[in-house]
């Protein structure tokens, strides 16, 4: 088994796929965590075409389901002695309001609660690594976000953009609060702004108007390969060893919104997320 193991969620396409492809070239053993077994196998085959020596493993889970997140975490724990890098890359956008099997709005479930839960479940494996790193994919959309603590599902006034911005703000607040609470100095966590990338996130599960507007908007976007550069840098570079709790853009640290700097909201979100996931923190405050 190669020395470093990296788990990437949403790794069958877009930024996640390009991250996996590049890290496999840098001699990481990469676990592609995907919702579809068929798409995961296709992504693995594509990577092996360009790098026959790549070590690529597959893990399957629908991140809208906390039951499946728990199941895949157990499977990973049973198969690997450690995880060196966890990249919470998976993200979704939905125009239409719908609840998951757990009674949670889908963007909140996939974009925030699934990485929050998976990170906690994999902490024992991360702590077995010499230089464990957690990378959360966020977005500058967080600048427009607000955590609706009285209605995080946005049942009263749902809008896809509002839900997305809320979830991306949650990614940054989670990163900041994890950094405040962590008890292991070697464990690092950072959030990434990949920029406007030419992916299909704005085309799937949207009203026709939203899909059309996304097609227009993404004409100015960068390629998924370019969008993956900061994730790859944070996962593999010795230059960032020990740097934690930051927000990154184009491989540089960037300031976050005033809402993301709220320690009160970060702690409040942590407690709410713990409750919604039904778990206890490794880092009590």
- Tell whether 174 is covered by a domain: yes
What pLDDT score does 221 carry? 61
Residues acting as catalytic residues: 164
- Tell whether 84 is covered by a domain: yes
What pLDDT score does 219 carry? 53
What pLDDT score does 285 carry? 52
| Number of domains present in the structure of the chain | 1
Q: How far apart are CA 228 and CA 241, in angstroms?
A: 19
Q: How far apart are CA 189 and CA 270, in angstroms?
A: 15
Q: How many residues does the chain have?
A: 285
What pLDDT score does 282 carry? 67
- Give the residues of the chain that fall short of pLDDT 50: 1, 202-203, 205, 212, 214
What pLDDT score does 203 carry? 42
- Tell whether 282 is covered by a domain: no
Q: Which two tokens stand for residue 131?
A: 């230089």
- Tell whether 285 is covered by a domain: no
- Tell whether 283 is covered by a domain: no
- Tell whether 284 is covered by a domain: no
Q: Which two tokens stand for residue 75?
A: 């499977």
What pLDDT score does 211 carry? 52
The pTM assigned to this predicted structure is 0.92
- Tell whether 125 is covered by a domain: yes
- Tell whether 21 is covered by a domain: yes
Are residues 174 and 136 in contact, defined by beta-carbon separation less than 8 angstroms?
A: yes
Domain region containing 156: 4-277
Q: How far apart are CA 169 and CA 104, in angstroms?
A: 17
Among 175, 90, 84, 65, smallest CA distance to 122 is for 84
Q: What is the CATH number of the domain that holds 191?
A: 3.40.50.720
Among 8, 10, 7, 23, smallest CA distance to 201 is for 10
Q: Which two tokens stand for residue 158?
A: 């749902």
């Amino acid at each position: 088994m190669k020395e470093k193991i990296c788990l990437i969620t949403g790794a069958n396409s877009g930024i996640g796929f390009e991250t996996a492809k590049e890290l496999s070239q840098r001699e990481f053993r990469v676990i592609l965590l995907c919702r579809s077994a068929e798409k995961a196998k296709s992504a693995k085959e594509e990577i092996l075409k360009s790098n026959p020596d790549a070590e690529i493993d597959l893990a399957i889970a629908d991140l809208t389901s906390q039951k499946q997140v728990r199941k895949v975490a157990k499977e990973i724990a049973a198969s690997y002695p450690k995880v060196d890098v966890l990249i919470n890359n998976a993200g979704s956008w939905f125009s239409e309001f719908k609840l998951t099997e757990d009674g949670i709005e889908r963007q909140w479930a996939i974009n925030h609660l699934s990485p929050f839960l998976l990170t906690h479940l994999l902490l024992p494996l991360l702590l077995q690594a010499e230089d464990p790193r957690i990378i959360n994919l966020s977005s500058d959309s967080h600048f427009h976000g607000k955590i609706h603590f009285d209605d995080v599902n946005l049942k009263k006034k749902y809008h896809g953009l509002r839900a997305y911005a809320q979830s991306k703000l949650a990614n940054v607040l989670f990163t900041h609060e994890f950094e405040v609470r962590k008890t292991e100095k070697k464990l690092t966590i950072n959030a990434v702004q990949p920029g406007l990338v030419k992916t299909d996130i704005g085309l799937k599960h949207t009203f026709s108007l939203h899909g059309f507007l996304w097609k227009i908007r993404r004409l100015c976007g960068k390629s998924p390969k370019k969008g993956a550069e900061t994730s790859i840098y944070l996962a593999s570079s010795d230059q960032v060893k020990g740097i934690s709790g930051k927000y990154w853009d184009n491989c540089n640290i960037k300031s976050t919104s005033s809402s993301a700097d709220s320690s009160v909201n970060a702690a409040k979100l942590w407690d709410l997320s713990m409750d919604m996931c039904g778990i206890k923190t490794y880092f009590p405050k």
